[in-house]
Structure 1
Amino acid sequence: MSADSKHSDSIHVEVAYALPDKQAIVPLQVAQGTTAIDAVRRAGLDRQFEGLDIDNAKLGIFGKVVGPQQALREGDRVEVYRPLIADPKEVRKARAARVKERRKGDAPA
């Protein structure tokens, strides 16, 4: 096998994870057919971020959620998503209720 054919059997991808105060983007060269979860495991983010549960984390590629068995393509960036702290619908509902209360207090008597 020539060096060129060996090189063409691999692709370049990135694996990204971020906390509010720390982030990591790990460039990898992997074999074609590598899955999203395989790339995340290979990136070793669980060694850099204490408590990161790779096996149960949601994954995405460029902002679109994908399954762990999603095959990667050249240039893909696999993103490891953190669990939501609050349900976005509940946050919007609470914000709307606060605005309504404020308006009620501003209304002329």
Structure 2
Amino acid sequence: MTALHITLSYSAAAGQVHEQEMELAPGATVADALQTAGGLSALGFTDEKGLPPFIGIWGKLTKPEHFLKDGDRVELYRPLTVDPKIARRERFARQGARGAGLFKRQRPGAKAGY
């Protein structure tokens, strides 16, 4: 059998995205791919809170025991530091109603929100 061609994609810190191509033996698991890459600590994932990163294949969450197929893209996700709803609410408060979304583009002389 031929080797599996896998892409490992991760972002250990905000604004930094890394991709690593690797070849694994048939029957390899997600855990095998992480071990081949050097482990989580080598990839920059430290145990700050004791939580391991979330693992997915092509955007769908999976477990380390999952068997890989040729062409899979293994992705490591950091835990969220801020709730997206709270971040959006704070951003909207900073920008104001006229600086965001539908309210930004207005016809001259129109009422707010139209």
TM-score (normalizing by structure 2)? 0.63
Structure 2 CA distance for partners of 1:22 and 1:92, relative to 1, 3 Å: closer
Larger mean Cα displacement after TM superposition, 69-78 or 20-29 = 20-29
Deviation track 1:25-55 (CA, whole Å, cap 9, x = no partner) reads 11111112211122022112632426268x8
Q: Which runs of 5+ in 2 are unaligned?
A: 99-111
Deviates more, 1:41-50 or 1:55-64: 41-50
Structure 1, 69-78 or 85-94: larger mean CA deviation = 85-94
Tell me which of 58, 64, 78 is aligned to 1:62: 58
* RMSD of equivalent CA atoms: 3.0
Matched residues, number: 96
Deviation at 1:100, TM superposition (A): 8.9
Partner of 1:23: 17
1:78 to 2:74 alignment: yes
Shifted more, 76-85 versus 10-19: the winner is 10-19
| Large movers: runs of 4+ above 6 Å | 96-102
Task: State percent identity of aligned pairs.
Answer: 35
Instruction: Select the structure that is richer in helix.
Output: 1
Q: Residue 23 of structure 1: CA displacement?
A: 2.7
Letter in structure 1 aligned against 2:68: L
Residue segments in structure 1 that go unaligned for 5+ positions in a row: 1-7
TM-score (norm 1): 0.66
The amino acid of 1:10's aligned partner reads A
Q: Which residue type is aligned with residue 16 of structure 1? A: S
Query: Once the two structures are superposed, what CA deviation does each residue of 1:56-84 show, in whole Å capped at 9, x if it has no partner?
Result: 21101111111121111000010011111
Whole-Å Cα distance in 1 between the matches of residues 76 and 47 of structure 2?
Answer: 9
Is 1:38–2:32 an aligned residue pair? yes
